[in-house]
Amino acid sequence: MNTREAAIAVSLLAGEYTGQEIIGNITIHEVAMDLFATAIAAGYAASASVAADLSDDMDLVYAVTMSRVYFLNPVGADRAVNPSGTFPSGSTITIFNTGAHQITFDSAGLNQAVGGGNHKTFYYNVDDGAWYA
């Protein structure tokens, strides 16, 4: 599964896609359902997911789920995505960079780059208060 396919699957998960356009003999809905099933099997959509364009740096705050998947498009320039606040040990954040510019995760700590078209998963260890790739 590539980043584009996963983003389509997550848009279906988020209820953003409701169309039934036909391509050949199948509908976009059928394709999205197949991609969504693949995303779940690959572990990308089994948790809460967010898709967004980044026009500035972004702080990530712990929400209800310990695992989050972000499909982010850094618009116009490189962007930083920084975890903020307290996360439970074992929390994971997966970032899919759907754009061309670089995303830097935890710029004051781990300082890990996610290049355009790539993704990385980060893990939090509460014992030392650090993120790991």
Predicted confidence (pLDDT) per residue in 10-40, tens digit: 555 444 444 444 344 444 445 545 555 555 5
Distance CA 128, CA 83 (A): 15
- Dig out the tokens for 101 from the structure: 């510019």
> Can you give the CATH number for the domain in which 122 is found?
2.60.120
- Do both 70 and 123 map to the same domain? yes
- Do both 57 and 11 map to the same domain? no
Q: Which position has the token pair 């014992």?
A: 127
For residue 79, give its domain range: 48-133
Are 44 and 6 in contact by the 8 Å Cβ rule? The answer is yes
pLDDT reported for residue 16 = 46
- Do both 34 and 67 map to the same domain? no
| pTM score, whole prediction | 0.64
3-state secondary structure of 81: strand
- Do both 57 and 37 map to the same domain? no
Distance CA 56, CA 78 (A): 9
- Do both 53 and 41 map to the same domain? no
Distance CA 119, CA 133 (A): 11
The string of pLDDT tens digits covering residues 46-60 is: 455 676 778 888 887
Nearest one of 17, 19, 13 to 37, comparing CA atoms:
13
pLDDT reported for residue 23 = 41
